[in-house]
Amino acid sequence: MDGTESGAPRPGQTAIDLRLPAGHPEACTTDSRHAGPEDPEGSGCLQDRAAPLYNGRVLLTLGTGAPCWGPGFDYGACGPAFARHGLRVPSEDYELPLRQALDAPEVRRFLCFSSCWFLTLLAPTLYVLAWCALFSTFHLFLRPLVEEHLAVSCLGFSAASVLFAGAVALLLGRSRGQVTMNSDVRLMRANEGLRGHRLLVGLSDCMESCMGRLQLTFCFFDVGDCLQRLIQLLEGRPGSQNPLQAGVRRKMGGFCVSVMENGPVPLQAAGAKSMDSEETPLLHGSREGENDGEASGQGRLRSAPAHTVVVSLVPGGTPQEAASWLLTLYGACYAGLLGAGRLPRTSRSLHAREAAVPCLCQHIERSLLGPCSS
């Protein structure tokens, strides 16, 4: 990958640095692109363990195989890796939330179809389909013209197909690096538990030997300074005049989560004249049973059928609550970009100067307000 020095561990390399058997599917690396002055070579986990911790430092990268059929992450490697850096993190703060967020089959399918590996396969497939569609259509309606200028027609079809496939790939590629519902939002619970230990976790994917690999990145980051800055930005100007609040509503207005809820509801009174169609029994016997139940106790509660409630993810409440919510949400995206080396290098970082990348609050401000804001 870009910026990786010779001999430095790559994201997704096998976990031989952890003295595991050769060919182990998991990885524990330190990205050389974020190596600080105390680690100019990015030499790996074992040699970096005595180095001081700073905001933006990648502590652990767990790799896995193909997004769809590859093995899951080895969460058991997290505890020893944290201990080497002097961090004591209970496994219940990260293992169970990560398993619930990433190990579901539907999530693995989403990660497969949104990975760079699938995008690499999609582009030539779209090119072939577009070329065949153009050729068959023009050959059907303009057959004499196509046969007379076959070479020119094929070149034109090829150019149009390249433009079409490139445009689709560009549109899909632009969404990479933004907050996604099925990965970053699902990692909010894990980041909420890890924030107290000054850790962030994020998911990203990369290409290695023409194969896609998922990597789960744990980075050190104390969000206290970023929290204070976001609170100041949210308190700057109230209401719609606040640019950050306007950016949150504009960028995240469509972010919603469907939650299944069920609970007890009181039965209608025995003398009710009408009932909803969904509550009307289809069989006469069930109606009699319901009357018997009402006679025995009209105040009895019965459980209502499960129903879906749509909850908006736009933060509300006080500026402190909104700032904490933004840090928890964007923490997963930030850690994933940091582990993949996709954050821009800068010397104007506010709270991650040693890593020479924008800090978390600058990343949030840039995502919501655009590049000119930072």
Ordered DSSP codes for 181-209: IIIIITTHHHHHHHGGGTEEEEEEEEEET
DSSP label at 51? S
pTM for this entry: 0.69
User: Can you list the positions of beta strands (E) in 174-320?
Assistant: 199-208, 211-220, 256-261, 264-266, 301-303, 307-312
Under 8 Å between Cβ of 214 and 64: yes
Distance CA 370, CA 374 (A): 8
71 contacts 23 by C-beta, under 8 angstroms = no
Output the tens digit of pLDDT for each of the chain's 374 residues. Answer: 444 444 444 444 433 333 333 333 334 443 333 333 333 333 334 334 557 889 999 999 988 766 556 677 888 889 999 999 989 999 888 899 999 888 888 888 888 887 777 888 888 999 999 999 999 999 888 888 888 888 898 999 999 999 999 998 888 777 665 777 778 888 998 999 999 999 999 998 877 766 777 889 999 999 999 999 999 988 866 555 788 888 888 877 777 777 666 655 444 444 444 444 455 554 444 444 455 544 444 444 455 566 677 777 777 778 898 899 999 989 999 999 998 888 999 989 999 999 999 999 999 999 888 765 55
* Cα-based angle 360, 343, 190 (whole degrees, multiple of 5): 50
Q: Are 191 and 328 in contact, with CB atoms under 8 Å apart?
A: yes
Q: Give me the amino acid identity at 60.
A: L
Locus of tokens 């194969």: 211
Would you state the structure tokens that stand for residue 327, as one six-digit string? 């840090």
For residues 158 and 311, what is the distance between their CA atoms, to the nearest angstrom?
A: 46
Cα–Cα distance, 34 to 350 (Å, whole number): 16
Q: List, in sequence order, every residue forming a beta bridge with 311; answer none if it has no partner.
A: 257
